Amino acid sequence: MTSLEDRIRNAAVEAIKDLYSQECPLNTIQVQKTRKDLSGDFTLVVFPLLRISRKNPVQTGEDLGGYILAKLQDIEKFEVVKGFLNFTAKETYWIQFLNNVLDQSPYGFVKPEKGTAPVLVEYSSPNTNKPLHLGHIRNNLLGYAVSKLLMATGKPVKMVNLVNDRGIHICKSMLAWQRWGDGITPEKSGMKGDRLVGDYYVRFEKEYQHEVTELQSQGLSKEEAAKKAPMLLDAQEMLRKWEAGDSEVTALWEMMNQWVYTGFDTTYKSLGIAFDKVYYESQTYKMGKQLVLDGLEAGVLYKKDDSSVWADLTDSGLDEKLLLRSDGTSVYMTQDLGTAHQRHEEFGFQNHVYVVGNEQNYHFKVLALILKKLGFDWAEQLHHLSYGMVELPDGKMKSREGKVVDADELIEEMVENARQVSKDLGKLDGFEEKEKEEINYRIAMAALKYFILKVDPVRTMLFNPKESIDFNGNTGPFIQYTYVRIKSVLRKAEDLNISIPQTVSLDVQVNEQEIQLIKLVYSFPELLQEAGRQYSPALLANYLYELVKAFNQFYQHSTIINEENSELRGFRLSLASFVARHIQDGMRIMGIEMPERM
């Protein structure tokens, strides 16, 4: 079915030829959704056509409106408002549209083109010196949802993770465990491995700050003390030994990192997060070092007197960037160069999206510029999806001080909140315990995921667990509850042997709420594509909220099962069934599963 917008465009071209004896390219005809504050469904912008008509906007609009109204049977009327020609579609057009999409599942999704290079989406990217926290949760949920969103718009996608498993951060945890761990393991402590290692990172920072304070009391400046504190020097020496392949340091590194990986996997499973491939910095940094050395030899990078290697970016309005320290060890930028190069060699990606907080905006500008300097034109295909931090009611999280919202603890808290809310509202009375737990888990995850994903990624957000689990308002549980309401109606119809028609009569008498609901569905494919272009699950989340609000308005004004007119009842059941499936498909993009009842 050709869209009415396209038919209006084609009719406008014919009108201009017949009315004004002029040829008009189709791409110059602008047709868009009518603004919400005006009546009508589709708007043809008249202003660009005035040079052809040689009339004022109102006269031109009247000419074109009359011609197109006579040409297209699906248009009921038109109205000219200044330079805009607004068309209202007939009710039968919207009913026919519904008929055309009733069997489409998932509706609005585009199948990926075979043989095209993928879009790579990197997310999570944790350090192995601490467990995942609330900030990581936003990162993971955003990365996963963006990946699924791009897939829904027809893009082949590879979801990748880069584990920052080397560097001074993990050496700090290793050194603290050596000194104060007394052989403790996750099994002995009863703790997840990532939590255990994180505790020793915090311990290092406390002891290090104590040494800095002590050195300051001996007359050193704060900057000098920070550089000369024995613990930091020992950690730096451990990093040098690791890069030199010291067997003892490597064995300790492998053991503690494995503790962390096991802990991460548990959290990922709880969040419903997965990756197509996991990269490790320890395996990519050498490639980055080689790229830097090649750039040095080619003269696009330079070496300072202390043997450190730098990139001069002043010609791009930035400063100089360190790539190799004077002792030959690499920095974060070095491994990112190597990882990007390796991924392009593997996948030949059409785009590479880095889901990383806005604190790293500068880093990714530099990354692209250095790759460009090194001669890689695909550097222009890198995109930093910069998102705002998650803040708590009492301020930012500080992992060095242990002031974080642990991801596992937050998930447990969300599930407990769901249990309590369900109990208070009596929603799961009479359910078996196993089903209660499954439903409460789905409610908890919907609350967490939706609350985070409904916020535009660029914005800093305040996370409120109790507000997120409300069954009213713009929340995941509210959308789930609407879905369950529809499923309940459909089960009742089945119990009464009332069939749901595959097509509905064009003659059925529909009300305003039903038409508005169908119009909202009609807008979905365009919105989905826009959400993909903007890498914004928030557009999808808020669309789904508007959809369930529209359905609830329809539900409140219309009888369904008890409707005496069989054609009207069939129409409403078909509409309700489609909306339920559509909600489920949309929420699944965000990693949210729907309970069948609650």
Kindly report the number of other CB atoms within 10 A of residue 494's CB atom. 11
Q: How far is CA 287 from CA 293, 330, 340, 342, 549, in A?
A: 10, 11, 10, 8, 53
Which pLDDT does position 401 carry in this prediction?
A: 45
Among 252, 257, 250, residue whose Cα is nearest residue 278: 257
Do 267 and 209 fall within a single domain? yes
Do 371 and 475 fall within a single domain? no
346 contacts: CB under 8 Å, gap ≥ 6: none
Written as six digits, the tokens of 207 are 């002891």
| CA–CA gap between residue 390 and residue 396 (Å, rounded) | 8
The amino acid at residue 113 is E
| CA–CA gap between residue 132 and residue 142 (Å, rounded) | 15
Beta bridge partners of 321: 311
User: At which of 396, 430, 451 does a domain end?
Assistant: 396
Written as six digits, the tokens of 538 are 């928030």
Which pLDDT does position 92 carry in this prediction?
A: 96
Do 171 and 228 fall within a single domain? yes
| CA–CA gap between residue 130 and residue 164 (Å, rounded) | 11
In a domain, 224, yes or no: yes
| CA–CA gap between residue 274 and residue 148 (Å, rounded) | 11
> E strands, 127-244, where?
157-163
Written as six digits, the tokens of 174 are 């290793």
| CA–CA gap between residue 536 and residue 359 (Å, rounded) | 19
- Whole-number percent of the chain with pLDDT over 70: 98
Cis peptide before 106 (omega within 30 of 0): yes
Among 390, 321, 353, 388, residue whose Cα is nearest residue 144: 353
Judge whether 157 and 121 are in contact, CB under 8 Å: yes
Written as six digits, the tokens of 225 are 């003390």
Do 372 and 416 fall within a single domain? no
In a domain, 597, yes or no: no
Q: pTM value?
A: 0.92
| CA–CA gap between residue 77 and residue 86 (Å, rounded) | 9
Please identify which residue in the block is written with the tokens 């999280």: 397
Do 534 and 577 fall within a single domain? yes
DSSP letters along 553-570, please? HHHHH--STT-S-HHHHH
| CA–CA gap between residue 107 and residue 97 (Å, rounded) | 12
Q: How far is CA 396 from CA 24, 133, 403, 447, 462, in A?
A: 57, 12, 9, 22, 10
DSSP letters along 343-404, please? HHHHH--SEEEEEEEGGGHHHHHHHHHHHHHTT-GGGGGEEEEEEPPEEBTTB--BGGGTB-
| CA–CA gap between residue 165 and residue 280 (Å, rounded) | 6
Q: % helix / strand / coil in the chain, to the nearest 5?
A: 60, 10, 30
Do 181 and 57 fall within a single domain? no
Do 321 and 460 fall within a single domain? no
Please provide the size of the chain in residues: 598
Do 348 and 392 fall within a single domain? yes
In a domain, 278, yes or no: yes
Buried b or exposed e, range 293-330, using 16+ CB within 10 angstroms = eebbeeeebeeeeeebbbbebeeeeeeebebbbeeebb
Written as six digits, the tokens of 572 are 């409403």
Judge whether 284 and 342 are in contact, CB under 8 Å: yes
In a domain, 423, yes or no: yes
Which pLDDT does position 396 carry in this prediction?
A: 44
Among 554, 545, 543, residue whose Cα is nearest residue 470: 545
CATH of the domain at 49: 3.30.1360.70
Do 390 and 420 fall within a single domain? no
| CA–CA gap between residue 119 and residue 265 (Å, rounded) | 24
Among 386, 296, 377, residue whose Cα is nearest residue 341: 377
User: At which of 89, 111, 146 does a domain end?
Assistant: 89
Do 417 and 489 fall within a single domain? yes
CATH of the domain at 134: 3.40.50.620
Do 281 and 304 fall within a single domain? yes
CATH of the domain at 497: 1.10.730.10
Judge whether 512 and 579 are in contact, CB under 8 Å: no
Beta bridge partners of 80: 85
Q: Which regions of the chain are under pLDDT 70?
A: 1, 392-404
User: Rg of the chain over CA atoms, in angstroms?
Assistant: 30
SS3 505: coil
Among 258, 271, 254, residue whose Cα is nearest residue 186: 258
SS3 254: helix
Judge whether 165 and 97 are in contact, CB under 8 Å: no
Q: How many domains does the chain have?
A: 3
Which pLDDT does position 1 carry in this prediction?
A: 63
In a domain, 168, yes or no: yes
The Cβ-side half-sphere exposure at 448, using a 13 Å CA radius, reads: 31
In a domain, 352, yes or no: yes
Q: Work out the burial of residue 551: count CB atoms within 10 Å of its CB; fewer than 13 is exposed, 13-18 middle, 19 or more buried.
A: buried
Q: Is 194 left (phi over 0), alpha (psi -120 to 50) or beta?
A: alpha
User: At which of 351, 370, 396 does a domain end?
Assistant: 396
Which helix (DSSP H) or strand (DSSP E) does residue 205 occupy? helix 193-217
In a domain, 127, yes or no: yes
Do 338 and 452 fall within a single domain? no
In a domain, 102, yes or no: no
Which pLDDT does position 402 carry in this prediction?
A: 46
Please identify which residue in the block is written with the tokens 């805009």: 84
Among 15, 3, 74, residue whose Cα is nearest residue 46: 15
Q: Which domain holds residue 469?
A: 407-589
Which helix (DSSP H) or strand (DSSP E) does residue 32 occupy? strand 31-33
